[in-house]
């Protein structure tokens, strides 16, 4: 995971193909608690893999601090997750919409968000 934390996202606007199952499994093995999900999008043509993790907190203000820190990382990396925010939890979902699947950027950001949570 340390290797991913030290990397930065690169633009992949339709130039980079989505990761294959083997690459996804290798990247996922370096993360803790993230799960692979298929089915982002509205219709069958929009189906794409994503990775998801739910973070739990003791207090609402901790949840919001995490959300704000996640927004800061997302801005710095120019790669933005979908967030579902509740009172004491935040679910983070990464996929690379521009390529219709997962890219290395998703795993880089997931590692950085994990590091935030560890603080």
Residues 96-113: tens digit of each pLDDT: 988 989 999 999 999 999
Domain count, the chain: 1
Contact in structure between 105 and 77 (CB atoms under 8 Å): yes
Residue 13 lies in a domain: no
Residues 73-98: tens digit of each pLDDT: 999 999 999 999 999 999 999 999 88
What is the model's pLDDT at position 15? 79
The parent domain of residue 93 ranges over: 2-8+18-118
Predicted structure pTM score: 0.88
What is the model's pLDDT at position 6? 86
**SS3 category, 30:** coil
Polymer length in residues for the chain: 119
Q: Which residue has the higher pLDDT, 2 or 50?
A: 50
Residue 26 lies in a domain: yes
Burial 66-75 (b: 16+ CB within 10 A, else e): beeebeebbe
Contact in structure between 74 and 116 (CB atoms under 8 Å): no
């Amino acid at each position: 995971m340390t290797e991913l934390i030290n990397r930065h996202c690169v633009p992949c606007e339709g130039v980079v193909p989505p990761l294959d199952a083997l690459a996804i499994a290798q990247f996922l093995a370096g993360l803790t608690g993230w799960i692979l999900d298929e089915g982002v999008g509205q219709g069958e043509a929009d189906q794409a893999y994503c990775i998801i993790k739910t973070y739990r907190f003791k207090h609402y203000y901790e949840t919001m601090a995490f959300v704000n820190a996640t927004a800061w990382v997302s801005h710095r990396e120019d790669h933005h997750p979908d967030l579902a925010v509740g009172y004491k939890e935040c679910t983070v979902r990464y996929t690379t919409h521009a390529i219709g699947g997962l890219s290395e950027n998703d795993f880089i950001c997931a590692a950085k968000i994990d590091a935030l949570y560890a603080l």
